[in-house]
Amino acid sequence: MISQTISRTNNKPVGSPGFTLMELILVMAILSAVAVASAPRLSRFFRGQALDGEAHRLLSLIRYAFRESVASGVPLELWMDTRNNRYGLHAMTGYEWATDRQVQFYLDEDTAMELYPGQPLVNGVATITFRPDGIMESDGLQYIRFRHGDDRIIVARPLIGHEWSVLTEEEAQNERGIS
């Protein structure tokens, strides 16, 4: 029987080549620098997204209240408590409406809700009433501003009609002169 000897001419390990420790450290250092440089922008982006989400949630609640009031024949009140940073929807006093449909939302502690023009508030609460005949009463409320630090977003009542919309601060200033 003949045996063959396999010899390696070079001293390279068998298998696929890998990364050296220095290459891995260099890549990690570059990734860390990118993360540190982008963190403030990402933080501001996520804050802005949270404000935008809050404004759209209120807008959806306004639309839901309008449709549900007409469909159920029950007058509904959308209430906004600026002192406790919360808002919600319930039936007007004296009317019955399923309790599972009543909702309440809380703003996070760094977000503020401001109502314009400033209304005479009862215990810090303003209301928008939705009547079954399609009439919406808001006692002169023109817009609601959500503020988180320097970021602001506005839910505004239209100049004509009842369809509210979400505007940035710049859009509101251009459209209505809101400051």
Whether 114 shows a pLDDT value over 90: the answer reads no
CATH code, 73: 3.55.40.10
* Cβ(173)–Cβ(179) below 8 Å: yes
* Cβ(125)–Cβ(89) below 8 Å: no
Q: What is the mean pLDDT of residues 132-149?
A: 81
Number of domains within the chain: 1
Whether 33 shows a pLDDT value over 70: the answer reads yes
Question: Does 39 map to a domain?
Answer: yes
Q: Give the best-scoring range by mean pLDDT among 1-5, 17-21, 85-89.
A: 85-89
Question: Does 12 map to a domain?
Answer: no
How far apart CA 149 and CA 169 sit, in angstroms, is 13
Q: Over the stretch 67-92, which tens digit does the pLDDT of each residue have?
A: 999 998 999 999 988 888 899 999 98
Residue 136 exposed, middle or buried by CB count within 10 Å (0-12, 13-18, 19+): middle
Average model confidence (pLDDT) across the chain: 79
Question: Does 37 map to a domain?
Answer: yes
How far apart CA 70 and CA 66 sit, in angstroms, is 7
Question: Does 13 map to a domain?
Answer: no
How far apart CA 164 and CA 59 sit, in angstroms, is 7
How far apart CA 38 and CA 61 sit, in angstroms, is 35
Question: Does 96 map to a domain?
Answer: yes
Q: What does the pLDDT read at residue 119?
A: 59
Among residues 110, 108, 111, 94, the alpha carbon closest in space to that of 146 is found at 111
Confidence of residue 25 (pLDDT cuts 50, 70, 90): very high
Q: Over the stretch 148-158, which tens digit does the pLDDT of each residue have?
A: 877 777 777 76
pTM: 0.68
| Bridging pattern class, strands 103-106 and 112-116 | unpaired
Q: CB atoms < 10 A from the CB of 156, how many? A: 21
Whether 113 shows a pLDDT value over 70: the answer reads yes
